[in-house]
Amino acid sequence: MASAPLFSIIIPTYNRAHLIQKTIESVLDQEFRDFELLVIDDGSADNTEEIVRRISDEKLTYFKKENAERGAARNFGFEKSNGTYINFFDSDDLMYVNHLKVAYELIESHHKPMWFHLGYDFKLPDGTLTKKVDDFTNSIDKVVLFDNKLSCNGVFVHRSIAESFPFIEDRVLASCEDWELWIRLASRYKLVYSNEITSTVVNHDQRSIRTIQSNKLVARDLFFIEKLKEDREVMNSYGRSFGKFVAERFTFFMLSFSEERNSSQVWRWAMRAVQAYPQILGDKRFLASIKNTILK
């Protein structure tokens, strides 16, 4: 029986037939070769399966399941995986050839960390570079509560962590399920990092991260907040800062409702934001939302 690979690359995908081939090829082109690649088709209605099955490589395994959002697809992929470190990679992004090589070197130099993150950049579909994210510091464990600076593509977690801390699968948390997990992990384990850029986020028109309706935003973030409040380690680590985090989420509600010209909801969440963290009165997003509401 072959030994388990060092890395399991798990790619959840949904209706990305026009993009998935390039992503898969970028994984198979890695300089470091001790890995397996699992593509988890989350119920695609296009010809994703046809595209993936055209690619013949012993490292690649394809699974198709009923649609249940990315969190469930990632958890499913983990259950099918064998690697010591898990990397959940998005199906519309690309690895540079050094991605796994840098990950391996970091594992060796930091004595097998529980989780770590690598640098990344943003590009347009034509390859134009728009942003680099290669400025991580030792404060990232605290920063992550307020800013999801971690790219799912850049995060590697030890198998024991992925087993103990799966993604929340509730659809209401969709688009924040990774951030919620990073906060839980950061409250328990030191995040090791490298600022060497090893992957790129491709900013195309069909990315799943997009503006959502205000009522869905409220439902998502209130669920997000409650799940974190239920976690004792999160509250022990971030308790003093948690009020600010909550208030900042409420300012997003304010901004969204101000754009919909729903002034009653703007004022409602303004009051709750101030109750959660009085200093939020000086926040730019808070002030902009109030200004938009008054002027409209």
**What's the token pair of residue 253?**
């509600």
Q: Are residues 175 and 252 in the same domain?
A: no
Q: Are residues 71 and 164 in the same domain?
A: yes
Mean pLDDT, residues 290-295 taken together = 90
Contact 80, 61 (CB under 8 A): yes
Per-residue pLDDT tens over the stretch 31-79: 999 999 999 999 999 999 999 999 999 999 999 999 999 999 999 999 9
Per-residue pLDDT tens over the stretch 129-174: 999 999 999 999 999 999 999 999 999 999 999 999 999 999 999 9
Total residues found in the chain within this entry: 296
Contact 173, 223 (CB under 8 A): yes
- CATH number for position 129: 3.90.550.10
Q: Given pLDDT bands bounded at 50, 70 and 90, which one contains residue 212?
A: confident
Q: Are residues 163 and 51 in the same domain?
A: yes
pLDDT of residue 6: 98
Q: Given pLDDT bands bounded at 50, 70 and 90, which one contains residue 258?
A: very high
Amino acid (one-letter) located at 144: V
Per-residue pLDDT tens over the stretch 265-282: 999 999 999 999 999 999
pLDDT of residue 215: 95
In a domain, 209, yes or no: no
Q: Are residues 12 and 118 in the same domain?
A: yes
- Domain ends where: 175, 202, 229? 202
Per-residue pLDDT tens over the stretch 186-196: 999 999 999 99
| Structural domain count, the chain | 2
Position 3 pLDDT exceeds 90: no
Q: Are residues 167 and 187 in the same domain?
A: yes
Q: Given pLDDT bands bounded at 50, 70 and 90, which one contains residue 235?
A: very high
Question: How far is Cα 252 from Cα 217, in angstroms, rounded to an integer?
Answer: 8
Tell me the residue range of the domain where 155 lies. 7-202
Contact 119, 133 (CB under 8 A): yes
In a domain, 207, yes or no: no
In a domain, 2, yes or no: no
In a domain, 136, yes or no: yes
In a domain, 159, yes or no: yes
- Domain ends where: 202, 226, 241? 202
Question: How far is Cα 293 from Cα 270, in angstroms, rounded to an integer?
Answer: 11
pTM confidence score: 0.94
Mean pLDDT, residues 17-38 taken together = 98
Closest CA to 246 of 263, 217, 221: 221
Q: Are residues 242 and 190 in the same domain?
A: no
Question: What proportion of the chain, given as a percentage, has pLDDT over 70?
Answer: 97
Q: Are residues 221 and 189 in the same domain?
A: no
In a domain, 72, yes or no: yes
In a domain, 1, yes or no: no
Residues 6+ apart with CB under 8 A from 111: none
pLDDT of residue 295: 81
In a domain, 118, yes or no: yes
Per-residue pLDDT tens over the stretch 87-125: 999 999 999 999 999 999 999 999 999 999 999 999 999
Q: Are residues 225 and 189 in the same domain?
A: no
- Domain ends where: 202, 231, 257? 202
Averaged confidence pLDDT in the chain = 95
Mapped onto helix, strand or coil, the DSSP state of residue 13 is: strand
Q: Are residues 96 and 197 in the same domain?
A: yes
Q: Are residues 28 and 162 in the same domain?
A: yes
Q: Given pLDDT bands bounded at 50, 70 and 90, which one contains residue 207?
A: low
Q: Are residues 26 and 153 in the same domain?
A: yes
Q: Are residues 194 and 218 in the same domain?
A: no
